[in-house]
Structure 1
Amino acid sequence: MCSSEDKDIKSKLMQLECYFTWGLEKEAVDLDNLVQRLLDSIRLPTGKVRSFNFLAYVKYMQGCNEDALAYLKQAEDYAKKDHEDDFEKWVLVTYGNYAWLYYHMGDISKAQDFLSKIEDICKNIPSASRYSAPLSIVDGEKGWCYLRFARKYYNEAIVYFQKALEQEPDDPEWNKGYAMALYRTESFDIISMEESLALKQLKHAMELNPEDAHIVVLLGLKLIFLKQRDEGMKLIEKALTLAPDEPYVTRYVAMGLRNAGCEDESIKLLKRALEKMPNSAFLHHQISLCYRNKIFKLQPWLRRPFIEMSIEHLQKALELKHFFVHAQLDLAKMYALSKDFQKAEELFQKACEMPNTCEEDIAMKHRCYGDFLFKNKQSEVLAIKQYKAGLSCRKETHDKDRCLQQLERIAKRRIGRYPKDGEAYGLLGLVHQHRKQEMLAVECFEKALLNDPGNEDYLSALCELRLKLE
Structure 2
Amino acid sequence: MWNPQRTRARSQRAQSGSGNLQTSASFSATMSECAEEHPLKDRLQKLRCHFTWGLLIEDTGLPDLEDRILEEIQFLDTENKVGYNLLAYVKHLQGKHEDALENLKEAEEVVQGDQADHSDVRSLVTWGNYAWVHYHMGRLADAQTYLDKVENTCQKSADPTRYSTQCPEMDCEEGWALLKCGGKNYERAKACFEKALEADPENPEFNTGYAITVYRLDYPAKRPCDVSDAFSLQPLRKAIRLNPQDAYLKALLALKLQDVGEEAEGRECLEEALAHTSSQTYVFRYAAKFFRRQGRVDEALKYLKMALKATPSSAFLHQQIGLCYKKKTNQIMNATHMQPTRQDRENVDRLIQLAIFHFEYAVKQKPTFEVAYVDLARMYITAGDHEKAEDTFQKVLCMTPLQEHIQQNIHFSYGQFQQFQKKSEVDAITHYLQAVTIRKDSYARDKSIKALEQLVSWKLERNPLDQEALSLREVLHRLVGGRDEALECSEQDLRLAADSGNWVGSSL
2:156 to 96, 118, 124: 124
Partner residue in 1 for 2:421? 376
How far, CA to CA, are the matches of 1:373 and 1:55 in structure 2? 42
* Residue 357 (structure 1) shift: 4.5
How far, CA to CA, are the matches of 1:99 and 1:439 in structure 2? 54
Are 1:137 and 2:169 counterparts? yes
Q: Secondary structure at the match of 2:171?
A: helix
Are 1:183 and 2:180 counterparts? no
1:25-424 aligned within 5 A: 25-27=56-58, 30-43=61-74, 44-46=76-78, 49-83=81-115, 85-187=117-219, 189=221, 192-243=226-277, 246-299=280-333, 300=345, 302-424=347-469
Q: Deviations over 1:385-415 (max 9, x none)?
A: 1112223535333322322222122113322
How far, CA to CA, are the matches of 1:178 and 1:49 in structure 2? 16
Contact 2:326 2:351 in 1 (8 A): yes
Contact 1:329 1:365 in 2 (8 A): yes
* Residue 15 (structure 1) shift: 1.3
Q: Deviations over 1:352-401 (max 9, x none)?
A: 12342433332121111111222333322221111122235353333223
Q: Secondary structure at the match of 1:197?
A: coil
* Residue 33 (structure 1) shift: 0.4
Q: Secondary structure at the match of 1:194?
A: helix
Give the length in aligned residue pairs.
Answer: 449
Q: Secondary structure at the match of 2:113?
A: helix
How far, CA to CA, are the matches of 2:392 and 2:135 in structure 1? 43
* Residue 45 (structure 1) shift: 3.8
* Residue 282 (structure 1) shift: 0.6
How far, CA to CA, are the matches of 1:199 and 1:5 in structure 2? 47
Partner residue in 1 for 2:495? 457
Letter in 1 for 2:54: G
Q: Deviations over 1:216-243 (max 9, x none)?
A: 1111101111222222122122211123
* Residue 47 (structure 1) shift: 5.0
Note the residue ranges of structure 1 that are not aligned, 5 or more in a row. Answer: 446-454, 463-470
Q: Deviations over 1:257-291 (max 9, x none)?
A: 11111110110111111111011111111111111
Contact 1:28 1:150 in 2 (8 A): no
**Which stretch shows the higher mean deviation, 24-33 or 105-114?**
24-33
Letter in 2 for 1:419: P
Letter in 2 for 1:344: A
* Residue 124 (structure 1) shift: 1.2
How far, CA to CA, are the matches of 1:4 and 1:176 in structure 2? 39
* Residue 189 (structure 1) shift: 4.3
Identity %: 38
Asked which structure has the greater RCO (Cα within 8 Å, sep 6+), the reply is 2
* Residue 105 (structure 1) shift: 1.4
How far, CA to CA, are the matches of 2:485 and 2:151 in structure 1? 63
How far, CA to CA, are the matches of 2:237 and 2:470 in structure 1? 46
**Which stretch shows the higher mean deviation, 85-94 or 395-404?**
395-404
Q: Secondary structure at the match of 1:49?
A: coil
User: Over aligned residues, Cα RMSD in angstroms?
Assistant: 2.6
Partner residue in 2 for 1:12? 43
Q: Secondary structure at the match of 2:209?
A: helix
Structure 2 CA distance for partners of 1:354 and 1:332, relative to 1, 3 Å: same
* Residue 154 (structure 1) shift: 0.6
Structure 2 CA distance for partners of 1:461 and 1:83, relative to 1, 3 Å: farther
Structure 2 CA distance for partners of 1:113 and 1:169, relative to 1, 3 Å: same
Q: Deviations over 1:321-353 (max 9, x none)?
A: 122111111111111111222222222222212
Letter in 2 for 1:457: R
Partner residue in 2 for 1:450? none
How far, CA to CA, are the matches of 1:65 and 1:170 in structure 2? 38
Letter in 2 for 1:151: G
Contact 2:475 2:494 in 1 (8 A): no
**Which stretch shows the higher mean deviation, 34-43 or 397-406?**
397-406
Contact 2:301 2:321 in 1 (8 A): yes
* Residue 60 (structure 1) shift: 0.3
* Residue 440 (structure 1) shift: 10
Contact 2:254 2:265 in 1 (8 A): yes
Q: Normalising by structure 2, what TM-score?
A: 0.83
Contact 1:244 1:250 in 2 (8 A): no
How far, CA to CA, are the matches of 1:216 and 1:249 in structure 2? 9
Structure 2 CA distance for partners of 1:279 and 1:344, relative to 1, 3 Å: same
How far, CA to CA, are the matches of 2:283 and 2:215 in structure 1? 15
How far, CA to CA, are the matches of 2:481 and 2:206 in structure 1? 38
Letter in 2 for 1:154: Y
Q: Secondary structure at the match of 1:227?
A: coil
**Which stretch shows the higher mean deviation, 18-27 or 3-12?**
3-12
Q: Secondary structure at the match of 2:153?
A: helix
Structure 2 CA distance for partners of 1:394 and 1:150, relative to 1, 3 Å: farther
Letter in 2 for 1:347: T
* Residue 295 (structure 1) shift: 0.7
How far, CA to CA, are the matches of 1:144 and 1:117 in structure 2? 23
How far, CA to CA, are the matches of 1:325 and 1:345 in structure 2? 15
Are 1:22 and 2:53 counterparts? yes
**Which stretch shows the higher mean deviation, 187-196 or 404-413?**
187-196
Contact 2:80 2:205 in 1 (8 A): no
Q: Secondary structure at the match of 1:298?
A: helix
